[in-house]
A and B are shown apart, each in its own frame.
Chain A
């Protein structure tokens, strides 16, 4: 190829902060977050798109950051687990995971929470079966699945109550 180059420009907004650098194109978004920006809340599990521990939001959609090249999403808005707290308070999904005992070792938890937040936005959580199916991209080796589903159901119930309160 002409102009073969070992780097390419990377421009992102990560948790609201602008980031720009020339990076080797082989750097994944996951490795950028963890190794260059010290955002280690996003976890590396399998590094092959199978476990979901590296789930982040890109322009509002949940993706596996281990399978995305950092240079390939120019000007994207990336939200990681570090970016979801609301005015210093835990995100309701974080609080629900604590309340429902939805983790044991905690390694998959940031990915589970990011996936669960997106799941609610996607409107794919109308039944327990649907929650389980649409959370199938996040594995939990401790087997905290029942707690995870319970936490998600709790947040949905909370949202329903809030919207009823607003309507009243």
Chain B
């Protein structure tokens, strides 16, 4: 099948600098939850290399362990077997990567501004630089003028934008996003996809993005990895040859290549979920 060929091809090109800032290396990783008779293998074995600057999208049906893989990369959990390396080192939360979760997870006792400022403080930015950096971050996610708002006063899409700005504050070379737009309406989702695409390209960040949507995967990814049903293993590793610089989003979404790739990914996701 063509998918296995692609997997081999990607495996062969995996000889990349795995200590570069923002690069991710997943070596023979298996992760289990629970213990004793209740043990359950969520992921693995998985081998995956993400070179710096890549936008990798992990796709798979619910429960295929894609969120677990992301938590391993973020350093929230240690793999039961194998090793995870981010920028050449064992990942630790707050150091390895900026994380955007499925829900915004903003601090309700702080305003929009307070949420950003907290992230800047944790990132070790000196207080004198906060106003400038804050304005820059808010402008990057299109939230100028909302500084003083309470987080429950703004819409769900705006909240997720604040979460993205917050995750960008530390300027980690790696950005992890776990189905960040799943709960949003289609229009907001498309706009935020364009924003994420633009932000990561402009800042040259590596990104690992988890989704179950083939459409979202093809639009965002420079490479797509489809995972099988639990325990998740790599079913398809596909580079996306679509143009990434200054493209018209509508045009891209309407193109034939886009449709073909989406069909291919969608097919692979269904096949992987059924296997």
Are A and B interaction partners?
no
Interface residues of A (CB under 8 A from B): none
Taking beta carbons and an 8 Å cutoff, which residues of B are in contact with A?
Answer: none
